[in-house]
Amino acid sequence: MATFTREEFYQQLLSGCVLPTAQQGFEQVWTLLLLCLACRLLWRLALPSYAKHLSTVAGGFYALYHFFQLQMVWVVLLSLLCYLVLFLCRHSSQRGVLLSITILIYLLMGEMHMVDTVTWHKMRGAQMIVAMKAVSLGFDLDRGEVPSIPSPVEFMGYIYFVGTVIFGPWFRFRTYLQAVESRRMSFSWFQKVCRSGFLSLVCLVLSTCVAPYFFSYFIPLYSYKLLRKWLRAYESASSFHFSNYFVGFLSETTATLAGAGFTEEKDHLRWDLTVSRPLNVELPRSMVEVVTSWNLPMSRWLNCYVFKNSLKLGTFSAIIVTYAASALLHGLSFHLAAVLLSLGFITYIEHVLRKRLSVIFNACILSKKCQPGCSHRHNTDLWVRLLNFLFGALAVFHLAYLGSLFDMDADDSVEEQGYGMSYTIYKWSELSWASHWVTFGCWVFYRLIS
């Protein structure tokens, strides 16, 4: 935007950004919302189960075509390949591992050889959901949590569930079966859909219209030249954060609208699907809290199917394997891999340092908040609160540094193809590699007090 007075800026912001952004956001997703509602209404009828599965496959196919046109064939190929592997290995006890290897090879070949980078990155979210669902089903079959291999129509219904096929979130196969049974359409269900839909539009507006101008107009601090780079990094990080919350709340909306995302307590249904917890990210206790609150379903998936299966390698190795798996799911993008692997080191060092300090001081200063009635002597002392606040401020510092890579001023074509190594090094060197140096200092301090 050009230079405006404060009053002119707010007028221009409302008419030139807020309203058009909200309108365009709704225009992009209203078809998907109608599909989800149509499937929900259809499943309320007394249809045979195979008809319900076929209807969600049809809805999922239409949604994929609406967003990706004929490029959807790469998502379809992945799903067919996954069921073929599942069927051929039906007597194996390593179906989860075999599916993981197959999906990894497919994603790597697609990224490097089969499809151009821009096209592949557009489908990355849908590919990720298919991969996560297939891998989780494979491991659940191995563990006996799913008694037998689903029929082709059940498997495809799960993969192409209309409420999650575009934006997610991931959930288990049994959750899908509960969704197509179609529980009663209650006021609490409608309230959850409206709340999540409204919050998704709010986050879209904040990402596009507020975060980029936070320190230039809302809290004018750009006059402090020494802080300017860090303020810009924080704005870029915040814009990226709220774009993630937009997708998270939108996925809550579509999944709930299609009938998924509830817990059952006796005869009472609670529509309580939660994908992201923005306050835990923007005002964090620790980086550990940030990575779990960023995307709760994906965090559960990584913990259940990657981290726990890798623990035999050791805790640190399991953490690195988990973040490496997350990086591969997000695509072969150097800046994403750099951010995720940096997060692995940061969260591990923060965890072991705070664990050691909690033992030395006998205080509640762990990465995760202690449960009521914990054995620590110091729980709510002023110095304990101050120390937790300082660790939270350090987490915000790390987030601004890592988020500086998602520059709002970057060229769209570069963003679509993924930022390269030179861009990543340039952005972090601008900030003097501060977060990495601080992390290294924390590790040295931890070794000294150990």
DSSP category for residue 264: E
Q: Which residues contact 16 (CB under 8 A, 6 or more apart)?
A: 1
Q: Among 66, 330, 376, 436, which one carries the catalytic annotation?
A: 330
- Cα–Cα distance, 73 to 267 (Å, whole number): 42
Q: Vertex 274, ends 268 and 279: CA angle to 5°? A: 130
Q: Which residues contact 384 (CB under 8 A, 6 or more apart)?
A: 363, 364, 365, 378
Strand duo 268-270 + 263-265: pairing: antiparallel
Tokens, residue 361: 């001081």
Cis upstream peptide for 169 (omega within 30°): yes
Cβ(249)–Cβ(261) below 8 Å:
no
Q: Write out the DSSP string of 206-259.
A: IIIIIGGGIIIIIS--TT-GGGHHHHHHHHHHHHHHHHHHHHHHHHHHHHHHTT
Cα-Cα end-to-end distance for the chain = 52
Cβ(42)–Cβ(94) below 8 Å:
no
Task: Please confirm, yes or no, whether 376 is among the known catalytic residues.
Answer: no
Q: Vertex 319, ends 313 and 325: CA angle to 5°? A: 100
Secondary structure of residue 99 in the 3-state scheme = helix
Length of the chain, in residues: 450
In order of 14, 55, 95, the CA distances from 48 in angstroms are 50, 11, 29
- Cα–Cα distance, 442 to 354 (Å, whole number): 10
**Helices 19-43 and 228-257 sit at what angle, rounded to 10 degrees?**
30
The values of phi and psi at residue 120, to 5°, are: -65, -40
Burial of 148 (0-12, 13-18, 19+ CB in 10 A): exposed
- Cα–Cα distance, 18 to 25 (Å, whole number): 11
Q: Radius of gyration over alpha carbons of the chain, in Å?
A: 23
Catalytic residue set: 330
